[in-house]
């Protein structure tokens, strides 16, 4: 018995809103049955039968009872009894026809919707009782066939059993539905428990908020983060949180509620308890019903205060120079644009550079150089007018910007120069420095970059004029800048295109002084413009040096020169190629030379001479001797070009591992008429021989000077007297008959 009760449905499992909906439907159907029976009875002329009217009014009363009586079971019992009465009235009106009894089976199925034993059992009992009672007292009205009229109890039982069987299947369906619901509820409870644990125990602050701003649910991380009690009072709202927004962007909740999709907001708040500020990144997801109406907003919050503070510190570091605390280049460029936008009368930009700072830095060390720059920043900031922008752009380059045109800028520049007439105090003592200052005026934010460039150009003009002075940018300088930019553009285009056609290498002969016979050649680059004009190196080499394009250009010249040297085999003893200071300072320079030699395995490396100027050696930031020793280790020879134009020529001859000394043209021109030059050349020749070096005299143009060099026993000469630089095709014509390389003046 216990097992059967366990198997049977429990009943009463519907939610109130579901039961109410079903009861309303069944009550309505019962009311419709009253109307249908009235119409059917009138049509069949059965409303005159008292029994029919009693049953009809009984059904109507059940409708009223089902509508007005409270309580599930009582009101549903009225409806159940009403359905039985309606079915009985229909049977009476049909005079007991068998088909009329089918309505009882329909009633059983309909009343099973209640999923409650009270109305369901009532319809079973009432149906059986109807068939038995009416079958005995009014068999003809209850059963429409003779056998049932003769044996009403038997047919009452038979009908009851049929109804019970129909009810049994309803009970099975009812029980299976309850089992499925129980399993679904178990899974739902399990999922809700898992989600609840995930929600409550996650370390990320999370909350569920109604569109009206009520906190429906919060996890422990959220409450701990905002220092809230574990139990929040009913109706606790977002506005009640102990934080205040610090921005004026509007309500964050309103923005989240209005967003049709997931949203991410970052806002700054101040805590009420300790006054500290925090940055919060809110990620929201709107939960909507089937109609698309927002039911709640699920948010999880990330405290990004530390990352925001780190970003602000990084921005501060980007805006300020780490060494001096002045504005950095990005900070200055940003503020200069704003200053130009505000200053209707113009903004003066002063570009400053310390004269001969490299010598100071190398002589005292980088630590002392850094201390000097810091001391200079302090004095510079004190020397400029209040509200001026002061920045360090890098190295020893500083820039100042202040409102006002030429007069204001010149006055500020003079005050800066005056401020630095006194030595700077360093830990090692006092240091006197001088500045070169360039000035330019800008008037619109769009001119910011051009104004700084113009001031930079003027600064270089001040430095070329001797330094320690102020130079105002002029239109002549602007033309020079435009020419420099144009030269850079032409050079970039040439390097990016057909280099051999756009940047051909020409050759100037180097001859034996005694015989005039060609013993070598210097490779000299030229440029063809897209219009077909030929440009000498003075039109693009300065731009190449300044932009660093000289590295790519120098490699091109070396490769092309070596290729011609290989093509001319032994007809040309060697080729000399110029190397700029920028090339020499490149870490990849020696490997590049080694690669060129490796690409030409039949080449004797000593046939390649790299010319390096003495001034390049003085200004190089690398260990010159080490770099030259690496070059010589490849078998390549090194020439000291423009010898005599530097500061310590004789000293350099002893310390630099050179193979060739090229005497500057200033010593050669007028040699025949100047005994002092003859003495200098004789001394250099003697010193070069003692150091196993050979000498080439440059710039020989006068036959008398050539004779003087012959008398001094100078090994080699180079100059227009023996030939100007020529294209490779023309220079090649001189090689098979080297004696034709004698100067034309002597050939006649």
pLDDT band at 170 (very low <50, low <70, confident <90, very high): low
Do residues 389 and 325 make contact, with C-beta atoms less than 8 angstroms apart?
no
Name which of 141-145, 362-366, 702-706, 718-722 the model is least confident about.
141-145
CA 237 from chain centre, in angstroms, equals 38
**Rounded distance, CA 94 to CA 51, Å?**
13
Q: pLDDT value at position 646?
A: 53
Both 305 and 337 in one domain: the answer is no
**Does 683 fall in a domain?**
yes
Both 284 and 374 in one domain: the answer is no
Express as a percent the part of the chain with pLDDT over 90. 27
Both 444 and 512 in one domain: the answer is no
The number of domains in the chain is: 4
Q: Give the mean pLDDT of the chain.
A: 83
Choose among 702, 650, 654, 707: nearest CA to 678.
Answer: 707
**Does 192 fall in a domain?**
no
Q: pLDDT value at position 748?
A: 29
Mean pLDDT over 56-68 rounds to 88
pLDDT band at 622 (very low <50, low <70, confident <90, very high): low
* pLDDT tens digits, one per residue of 379-413: 999 999 998 999 998 888 999 999 988 899 999 99
Both 467 and 492 in one domain: the answer is no
Predicted confidence (pLDDT) at residue 482 exceeds the cutoff of 80: no
Instruction: Indicate the burial class of 416 (C-beta count within 10 angstroms; 0-12, 13-18, 19 or more).
Output: buried
Both 411 and 466 in one domain: the answer is yes
Both 228 and 298 in one domain: the answer is yes
* pLDDT tens digits, one per residue of 552-575: 999 999 999 999 999 998 899 999
Mean pLDDT over 589-602 rounds to 93
**Does 747 fall in a domain?**
no
* pLDDT tens digits, one per residue of 95-112: 777 777 778 777 777 777
**Rounded distance, CA 158 to CA 168, Å?**
15
Predicted confidence (pLDDT) at residue 699 exceeds the cutoff of 50: yes
Q: pLDDT value at position 440?
A: 93
Choose among 610, 510, 508, 511: nearest CA to 558.
Answer: 610
Q: pLDDT value at position 717?
A: 95
pLDDT band at 140 (very low <50, low <70, confident <90, very high): low
**Does 198 fall in a domain?**
no
Collapse the DSSP code of 13 into the 3-class scheme (helix H, G, I; strand E, B; otherwise coil) and give the result: coil
Q: pLDDT value at position 173?
A: 66
* Structural domain range at position 692: 487-735
Mean pLDDT over 136-156 rounds to 65
Collapse the DSSP code of 678 into the 3-class scheme (helix H, G, I; strand E, B; otherwise coil) and give the result: helix
What does pTM read for this prediction?
0.49
Q: pLDDT value at position 297?
A: 86
Strands 575-579 and 608-613 come out as parallel
Q: List the CATH number of the domain containing 445.
A: 3.30.70.270
* pLDDT tens digits, one per residue of 299-322: 888 888 888 887 777 777 778 888
pLDDT band at 742 (very low <50, low <70, confident <90, very high): very low
Greater model confidence, 517 or 193: 517
């Amino acid at each position: 018995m216990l097992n059967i009760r366990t198997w049977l449905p429990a009943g009463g499992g519907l939610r109130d809103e579901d039961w109410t909906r079903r009861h309303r439907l069944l009550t309505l159907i019962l009311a419709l049955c009253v109307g249908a029976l009235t119409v059917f009875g009138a049509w069949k002329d059965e409303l005159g039968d008292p029994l029919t009217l009693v049953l009809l009014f009984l059904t109507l009363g059940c409708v009223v009872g089902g509508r007005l009586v409270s309580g599930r079971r009582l009101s549903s019992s009225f409806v159940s009894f009403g359905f039985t009465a309606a079915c009985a009235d229909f049977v009476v009106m049909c005079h007991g026809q068998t088909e009329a009894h089918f309505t009882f089976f329909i009633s059983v199925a309909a009343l099973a919707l209640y999923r409650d034993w009270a109305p369901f059992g009532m319809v079973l009992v009432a149906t059986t009782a109807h068939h038995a009672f009416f079958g005995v007292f009014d068999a003809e009205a209850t059963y429409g066939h003779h056998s049932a009229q003769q044996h009403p109890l038997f047919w009452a039982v038979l009908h009851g059993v049929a109804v019970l069987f129909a009810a049994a299947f309803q009970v099975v369906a009812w029980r299976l539905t309850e089992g499925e619901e129980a399993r679904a509820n178990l899974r739902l409870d399990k999922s809700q428990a898992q989600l609840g644990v995930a929600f409550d125990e996650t370390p990320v602050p999370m909350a569920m908020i109604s569109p009206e701003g009520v906190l429906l649910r919060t996890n422990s991380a959220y409450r701990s983060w905002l220092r809230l009690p574990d139990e929040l009072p009913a109706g606790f709202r977002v506005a009640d949180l102990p934080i205040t927004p610090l921005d004026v962007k509007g309500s964050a909740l309103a923005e989240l509620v209005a967003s049709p999709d997931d949203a991410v907001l970052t806002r700054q708040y101040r805590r009420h308890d300790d006054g500290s500020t925090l940055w919060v990144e809110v990620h929201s997801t709107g939960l909507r019903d089937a109609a698309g109406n927002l039911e709640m907003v699920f948010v999880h919050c990330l405290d990004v205060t530390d990352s925001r503070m780190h970003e602000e510190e990084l921005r501060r570091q980007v805006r300020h120079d780490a060494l001096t605390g002045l504005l950095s280049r990005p900070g200055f460029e940003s503020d200069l644009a704003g200053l130009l936008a505000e200053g209707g009368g113009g903004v003066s930009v002063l570009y400053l550079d310390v004269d001969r700072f490299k010598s100071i830095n190398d002589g005292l060390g980088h630590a002392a150089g850094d201390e000097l720059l810091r001391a200079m920043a302090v004095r510079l900031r004190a020397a400029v007018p209040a509200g001026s922008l002061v920045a360090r752009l890098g190295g020893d380059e500083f820039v100042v910007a202040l409102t006002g045109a030429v007069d204001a800028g010149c006055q500020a520049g003079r005050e800066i120069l005056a401020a630095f007439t006194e030595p700077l105090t360093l830990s090692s003592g006092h240091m006197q420095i001088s500045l070169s200052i360039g000035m330019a005026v800008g008037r619109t934010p769009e001119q910011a970059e051009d104004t700084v460039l113009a001031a930079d150009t003027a600064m270089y003009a001040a430095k070329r004029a001797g330094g320690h002075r102020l130079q105002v940018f002029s239109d002549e300088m602007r033309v020079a800048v435009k020419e420099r930019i144009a030269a850079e553009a032409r050079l970039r285009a040439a390097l990016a295109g057909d280099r051999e056609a756009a940047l051909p290498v020409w050759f100037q002969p180097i001859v034996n002084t005694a015989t005039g016979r060609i013993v070598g050649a210097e490779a000299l680059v030229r440029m063809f413009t897209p219009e077909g004009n030929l440009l000498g190196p003075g039109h693009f080499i300065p731009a190449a040096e300044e932009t660093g394009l000289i590295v790519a250009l120098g490699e091109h010249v070396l490769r092309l020169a070596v290729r011609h040297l290989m093509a001319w085999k032994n007809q040309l003893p060697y080729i000399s190629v110029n190397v700029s200071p920028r090339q020499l300072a490149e870490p990849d320079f020696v490997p590049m030379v080694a690669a060129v030699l490796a690409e030409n395995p039949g080449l004797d490396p000593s046939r390649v001479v790299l010319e390096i100027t003495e001034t390049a050696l003085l200004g190089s930031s690398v260990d010159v001797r080490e770099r030259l020793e690496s070059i010589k280790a490849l078998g390549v020879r090194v020439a000291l070009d423009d010898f005599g134009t530097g500061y310590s020529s004789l000293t350099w001859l002893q310390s630099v591992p050179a193979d060739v000394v090229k005497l500057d043209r200033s010593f050669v021109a007028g040699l025949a008429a100047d005994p002092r030059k003859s003495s200098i050349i004789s001394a250099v020749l003697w010193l070069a021989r003692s150091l196993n070096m050979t000498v080439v005299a440059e710039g020989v143009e006068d036959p008398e000077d050539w004779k003087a060099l012959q008398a001094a026993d100078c090994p080699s000469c180079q100059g227009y007297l023996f030939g100007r630089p020529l294209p490779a095709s023309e220079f090649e014509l001189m090689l098979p008959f080297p004696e034709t390389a004698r100067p034309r003046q002597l050939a006649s």
